[in-house]
Amino acid sequence: MNAPAQHPPAVRTTCPYCGVGCGVLAKPDSHGGAVIAGDPEHPANFGRLCSKGSALGETLGPETRLLHPMVQSGGALVRTSWDHALDRVANGFARTAREHGPDSVAFYLSGQLLSEDYYVANKLMKGFIGTANVDTNSRLCMASSVAGHRRAFGADTVPGCYADLDRADLIVLVGSNAAWCHPVLYQRMMANKRERGAKLIVIDPRRTATAEEADLFLAVAPGMDTALFCGLLVHLSETQAFDFAYIDVHTTGFAEALTRAQDIAPDVKKTATLTGLATADVARFFEMFTSTPKVVTCYSQGVNQSAQGTDKVTSIINCHLATGRIGRAGMGPFSLTGQPNAMGGREVGGLANQLAAHMTFGHESVDRVGRFWNAKAMARREGLKAVDMFDAISRGEIKALWVMATNPAVSLPRAGHVRAALEKLDLLVISDNVAGNDTVRANAHVLLPAAAWGEKDGTVTNSERRISRQRAFLPLPGEAKPDWWIVTQVARRMGFAEAFAYQSAADVFREHAALSAFENHGTRAFDIGGLASLSDDEFDGLKPVQWPARTATPHEDSRFFAEGGFFTPDGKARMIAPEMPRPHAALSPEFPFRLNTGRIRDQWHTMTRTGLSPKLGGHLPEPFVEVHPDDAMQAGLVAGGFARVTSPYGSCVLKVIISEGQRCGSLFAPIHWSGETASSARIGELVTPATDPYSGQPEAKATPATIEPVAFKYRGFALSRGRLSLPEPTWWARAAVARGQGLLLASNDTPEAWRAISASMFAGTEIAEFVDAIGDIYRMAAFADGRLVGCLFVGPSGNAPQWDVVKSLFEAEAVGETQRRGMLSGKSTDGIADPGPVVCACFGVGLNTICNALADGTAANVESIGKALRAGTNCGSCLPELKKLVSQRSVDHVRAAQAV
C-alpha cells in the first residue's frame, strides 16, 4: 500500500487583476505553476473567477522573469549583487536630491503593488526625501473618481458595497464594459437580473459585450455623460423626485448644481441632442431612474479617463445625493476600479495629490503625519501627477526616477514622448518581475528583481473597500525580493534606518493601520485602527475585512452617508456645478475621428502577465481597431485587413474589425499591446496628453485621430520555442502558445524572401518546406532531433494561412509521421490512415495497410493480398517482401496461440 500523496494545502490569496479583488485558492503543482480555483468563501466572488483569473496558473513560468539585480555598465545591463544595486539606487537618489533639490527625484508606482509596498515607498518619498513626486498608474485608471469623491464627500470614500449590486432594482453602468473588465461583478448583476428582475442600463459610446444583456442601451456621444446626468437631475427636479429632507440636511450647493444642470440640459430633447441619443431612449432612462429608488450607478474608465472625468463623477453623484439614494442597501454611486490595489494605493497616499492615509497636504495633516513618522523632511505640497511628472522628466527637471511594477512607456499618453523622456534621466531604476518590457528598454540604469504574484505577501483593497490578503504560495525565484523590502533597504542606505526598521509586511501593515487611526477621532473615513495591533499570526490569517475597521471586529458590508456624515468641515456633501461638457480637443478634417481606447476580455494592462497564457492569447490574438461599417466603407477599410490609425502624437497599424457596435465617427483600439508584443500597436503613443483639471487623469478615450487602409500583400505566422524577431518592416503581433511563442505577421516581402529569412531564423535545424511560387505560398517547419521546434507559413493576404492545426502540433511537440507528412498543408490529418512505408511501389501500398489486411483477415497470403490491395500484382518486385510479411504473420499467430 502506498501512503497517500502529500499535497500542500491550497493557499487563500487574491487575484492580481481587476479591482473586483476576487479570492483565489492557489495550490502549487510540482512544476512551479499552480492549480487555481475561486475561493468560495471570499465575499467578492464566492468562488467564481473570470477567464483571466482562471488562467493565472499559466502565467507563473520563470521564462520572462527578472531573477537578479542588474546595472547598466558600458551601455549594457549586467548582473550585479543586491548590495551594489541598492547602493547605486540609494546614492543616486540621495545625490540627485542633494544637488538638485528633492523635487528632482520621483517615484512612479503601480496599482499592482501591495499596500505595504506602496506604504513604504510613499513614506520614503514624502517623509524623508521630502517631495510628493510619487504618482502611480492608478492616475490613468480612477483618479477622477478620487477627485469626484473628495469634492463631494470630503474623502475618497466609496459609499456602497458589492452586496448593493445584488439588491438594486436598477443598475446603471456608465462607461463600463463590466462584462469584460469586471466579469465576476457583472455575473453578480446578471444573477440579480435573473433572480430578482433587476433592470440594467448601459451607457457607453460603444455597444460592448456588456450591452448585450441591457434592458436599455444608450450609445452616448463621447464625453457627453455629464450632459446626460445633468438632464437626469433636471428631470428628477421636474418630476419632484428629489429627497429634499436629505438635500437640506446633508448637502450644500444644491441650487447651483441644479441651475447649472438646467443650463446644460434643460429638457429631454436638449439632452438627447447633446448626447446624440434618441429622445425616447433618454426619456426612458430618466423614467426608469426616477421611478426606481434602489438604483446603483456604476462607473468606470469611460467616466474616469476623460478631461471632464471629475465632472462626470460629480454629475452622477449629484443625482444620487439629490434623491438621497446613497449609502443604503441597493443604492448609490459606485466606482469600479481597474486595478487590484488601486484602492490600497489611495489609502496609503500613493498619489501625488494625497499625503498618506487619506490625508491631504493641509498644514495640520503634514504636521500630523510628520510627527507620526518622526520625519524631518516632510513634503508640504502636492507633487507632480503622472502626465506632468513625465513632462518634468522631459524638461530635465526630474533627473532620477524609480518605476515600480508598471510600464509607463506603453501605458501613458504620448507613450513615445514618455519613452524619449525616460532616456534623458540620469538615473532610471526599475523594480519589476519581468526582465524586459518597453520601459526597461528605455535606458534603465538599475533593474531590481521584484517578487511576483504568488510570491509576494501583504494586503490589497478592492472596489468595495475590502482589504484582503495576497499570500505567497511559491518560493521567491532567483534573487527576487518583495518591493517593500527593496524600498526599505534603499531607505536604510539613505540614512533612514530607524524609520524603516520593518522586518515583515506585517510590520508595515501595522504601522499603516496605526497611522489611519492616528488622531483620527472619526474625522477621516479611512480608519483601520482596529487592525493596528494584529500579531504576525493574526495578520497571516486575516480574513477579508471592509474598512472602516475602527475596532478589530468591524461590520460586514458597511456603507457610508445614508445619514450624512460627510468628511467635510461641516459634515455636508458638496453638490458641485459641473462645466459644460466637451471633449478637450476638437475634431478636424485632418483628424476627423474620436479614438477610444480600452481593454479586451482576456488581457490585462500591457500583457506582461496575461500575455504568457496560451489560453488567454487565443481570444483576440492581434491588436485591432474597431470601426463602424459606414466609416470603414468611406475609408476603404476591409474586415480583417489593416489600417494605420494616426493622431497628432503617433500612429499604429492595427487589424481592422468592422462592427455595428462601434459608434459612427469613433474608433476603438485596445491598450494592451506594447513594443514587446506587437510591431506597431502601442496605442498609448496616440493618446492625447490632455488631462482633467482636478484629477490630472488623461483623456484616453477621445483623442482626435484619422484612419487609412494599409495593404500587406502577404500574411502568415511563425511559431518557435524561443523568442523570434522578425525583420523590419514586418507587421507582427506576439501571442502566447504552449511551449513557445507565436507571431502573427503581415508583410510585403515575398514568400521567396521569407524563405531566406526563415532559413536564418531556424539555422541549424532540419527544415521541411512547401514552396508554391506561383501560388505565392511558402511554408516551413524546423525540426531538431525529430521534434518540431518552429515553423513559418506565409501566403497571400486574401488566403492567409490559419494556424490552429499547426499550433496544436507545435504545442504537442512530438509529431507523428502522418501528422508530419501533412503538417505543411496546415490541415488536420486526423482520420487519415497512416499507410506506413511503401512496400508495393507500383500501387503505392504501404506496410501498415498490408499488415492490417493480414490482421483483419482480408488477406491471408500473397495472392489474396494481391486481390484485395493489388500489391505485388504488377512488377512483382515486392513479392518477396510480401511473402516475408505473410510468414511473419503466421509465426505471430502461432506465438499468440501458444501464449493463450
Task: Give contact residues for another protein (rule: CB under 8 A).
Answer: 766-775, 777, 781, 783, 786, 817, 820-822, 824-825, 827, 829, 832-833, 835, 838, 841-844, 846, 866-867, 870, 873-877, 879-880, 883
- The owner of cell 464627500 is 153
Question: Is 679:731 a contact under the CB 8 Å cutoff?
Answer: yes
User: Which DSSP string corresponds to 754-785?
Assistant: HHHHHHHHTTTSEEEEEEETTTTEEEEEEEET
- Cβ at position 766, least distance to another protein in Å: 5
State which residue, 327 or 822, has the beta carbon closest to another protein.
Answer: 822
- Cβ at position 861, least distance to another protein in Å: 14
Residue 228: alpha-carbon gap to chain centroid: 29
State which residue, 83 or 766, has the beta carbon closest to another protein.
Answer: 766
State which residue, 83 or 817, has the beta carbon closest to another protein.
Answer: 817
- Cβ at position 877, least distance to another protein in Å: 5
Cα–Cα dist 168/189, whole Å: 9
- Listed as own residue / partner, the contacts of 709-712 with beta carbons closer than 8 Å and 24 or more positions apart are 709/635, 709/636, 709/637, 709/638, 709/641, 709/642, 709/643, 709/644, 709/656, 710/641, 710/642, 710/643, 710/644, 710/653, 711/641, 711/642, 711/797, 712/642, 712/746, 712/747, 712/748, 712/797
- The owner of cell 499570500 is 471
- Cβ at position 846, least distance to another protein in Å: 6
- Cβ at position 852, least distance to another protein in Å: 15
State which residue, 256 or 772, has the beta carbon closest to another protein.
Answer: 772
- Cβ at position 485, least distance to another protein in Å: 51
Assign 131 to helix, strand or coil.
coil
CB atoms inside a 10 Å sphere around CB 423: 13
CA-wise closest residue to 49 among 40, 60, 58, 62: 40
State which residue, 377 or 879, has the beta carbon closest to another protein.
Answer: 879
Question: Is 542:585 a contact under the CB 8 Å cutoff?
Answer: no
- Cβ at position 639, least distance to another protein in Å: 23
- Cβ at position 642, least distance to another protein in Å: 24
State which residue, 559 or 889, has the beta carbon closest to another protein.
Answer: 889
Q: How far is CA 72 from CA 319, 441, 444, 676, 693, in A?
A: 54, 11, 7, 20, 38
- Cβ at position 797, least distance to another protein in Å: 15
Cα–Cα dist 186/171, whole Å: 10
In terms of Cβ atoms closer than 10 Å to its own Cβ (0-12, 13-18, 19+), residue 894 is: exposed
Cα–Cα dist 206/195, whole Å: 28
- Cβ at position 762, least distance to another protein in Å: 13
Question: Is 36:43 a contact under the CB 8 Å cutoff?
Answer: no
Assign 369 to helix, strand or coil.
helix
- b/e burial code for range 689-702 (CB count within 10 A of at least 16 → b): bbbbebbbbbbbbb
- Cβ at position 814, least distance to another protein in Å: 13
In terms of Cβ atoms closer than 10 Å to its own Cβ (0-12, 13-18, 19+), residue 676 is: buried
Maximum CA pair distance of the chain? 107
State which residue, 503 or 825, has the beta carbon closest to another protein.
Answer: 825
φ/ψ of 86, rounded to 5, equals: -65, -40
State which residue, 46 or 843, has the beta carbon closest to another protein.
Answer: 843
State which residue, 552 or 771, has the beta carbon closest to another protein.
Answer: 771
State which residue, 550 or 713, has the beta carbon closest to another protein.
Answer: 713
- Cβ at position 783, least distance to another protein in Å: 5
The grid cell for 340 is: 487590484
Q: What is the 3-state secondary structure (H, E, C) of 148-159?
A: HHHHHHCCCCCC
Q: What is the 3-state secondary structure (H, E, C) of 373-399?
A: HCCCCCCCCCCCCHHHHHHHHHCCCCC
State which residue, 540 or 776, has the beta carbon closest to another protein.
Answer: 776
State which residue, 598 or 866, has the beta carbon closest to another protein.
Answer: 866
Assign 743 to helix, strand or coil.
strand
State which residue, 41 or 772, has the beta carbon closest to another protein.
Answer: 772
- Cβ at position 890, least distance to another protein in Å: 17
- Cβ at position 772, least distance to another protein in Å: 5
Amino acid at 61: G
- b/e burial code for range 115-124 (CB count within 10 A of at least 16 → b): bbbbbbbbbb
State which residue, 420 or 879, has the beta carbon closest to another protein.
Answer: 879
The grid cell for 405 is: 511594477
- Cβ at position 889, least distance to another protein in Å: 18
- Cβ at position 622, least distance to another protein in Å: 23
Pairing relationship of beta strands 740-747 and 714-720 according to DSSP bridges = antiparallel
- Cβ at position 866, least distance to another protein in Å: 6
The dihedral through the CA atoms of 504, 506, 511, 516 has a sign that is positive
State which residue, 256 or 769, has the beta carbon closest to another protein.
Answer: 769
State which residue, 630 or 769, has the beta carbon closest to another protein.
Answer: 769
Cα–Cα dist 183/836, whole Å: 50
| DSSP-assigned letter for residue 696 | -
What are the helix (H) ranges across 824-871?
Answer: 847-855, 862-869
State which residue, 773 or 891, has the beta carbon closest to another protein.
Answer: 773
Query: How many residues are given for the chain?
Result: 900
- Cβ at position 827, least distance to another protein in Å: 6
φ/ψ of 67, rounded to 5, equals: -115, -10
State which residue, 362 or 876, has the beta carbon closest to another protein.
Answer: 876
